[in-house]
Structure 1
């Protein structure tokens, strides 16, 4: 599914966001500021998707969705930069990253914290592949409410296919579990390569087989 959408003219915002505003609201460290300077040319608040601009029912979980354009100096997806912007902006965000003649769409799932309504819970970031900048954009998905629209904007970015009964949060949880399990497998494989003792290699191999089995279970029949 095409993750690049044609946002209606009524949603256009077009305001450049100074990086120091992000630094202030995200409590950016000196190292993070250097990453911004090295990788990001400028940040533009491109679109504001809201009940009034889209004629959709409001949602407490998704009051608005903001679309941010990041012009990059090199084609790198730095999730620390995306997380800092997400932490600074108290709305769900869709990122469009451009570098030269290429475009990539990224987003994390954001929801209000149940413990503190002034804070947001942010998942890991998911992203599309790089594609030509002139890629034809898909019409904005048909939805009746802001939360349903948000689900449809995020769905193409998730690497895990949707089952008939899967909710978006369930797909995100499974995607993150699969990524964590793959990291565990990578660590075991690295240990196996370094280990010279036969009996320890046997034990690591047993762990590795169990980890691979768990990964297959997480992937399910569509994996």
Structure 2
């Protein structure tokens, strides 16, 4: 995985505290979810707005702006249901910077408007960097042509699988998801093989394992 911390331009600074109750007002939150907000989150700051008027990149369908949220945590773990709630409340793509004990982690999910309901947003599985030092030198934003390409670039930094030539972000994410599934299947099969006593069954499991390993190589290359 490449370094996921970026230096955002000063002209894009928004720097406003986002009260938790504002999020509750714009999404369906039950008592359990509200408790997670209270237990795990100290403060949410809407830190940057990457928009045509702030970074001079044109908007594209589904990516009119990109928001950067800084979240100060009370605990080292954050339940993804909290992020999903925020994503449902804010109708823009969001990149999260989580802060805890002088470390920072970047998280985001590929987010886009539904093709059947323009008022609904689809939010994929969350991607995350490792915990990084707060004072790590940040990389500059890439030279891209529009906000959609910028959003793709920010997301790809969180996918620990190099993109293929010509592969769009959805294909890249789908391949990463499939790879994770196959890796889990491979681990389960190896565990079964280790416990299996019957020779004939070991042969069958070995054959299945070789097929899975071939699939893993295909997805990784």
Change (3 A) 1:170 1:30: same
Distance 1:93 1:104 in 2: 14
Change (3 A) 1:202 1:73: farther
How big is the shift at 1:31? 2.5
Q: Secondary structure at the match of 1:98?
A: strand
Change (3 A) 1:26 1:176: farther
Deviations along 1:168-203, one digit per CA (max 9) or x if unpaired, are: 221111111112222333444566678788877766
Structure 2: state its 5+ residue gaps. none
How big is the shift at 1:97? 0.5
Q: Secondary structure at the match of 2:53?
A: helix
Corresponding position of 2:15: 14
Corresponding position of 1:34: 35
How big is the shift at 1:25? 2.8
Corresponding position of 1:160: 161
Distance 2:57 2:51 in 1: 8
Q: Which moved more, 1:141-150 or 1:75-84?
A: 75-84
Corresponding position of 1:43: 44
Structure 1: state its 5+ residue gaps. none
Aligned-pair Cα RMSD in Å? 2.3
Corresponding position of 1:129: 130
How big is the shift at 1:98? 0.6
Distance 1:157 1:30 in 2: 31
Give the count of matched residue pairs.
Answer: 220
TM-score calculated relative to the size of structure 2? 0.87
Distance 2:115 2:178 in 1: 22
Query: Is residue 139 of structure 2 the alignment partner of residue 138 of structure 1?
Result: yes
Corresponding position of 1:147: 148
Distance 1:73 1:188 in 2: 39
TM-score calculated relative to the size of structure 1? 0.86
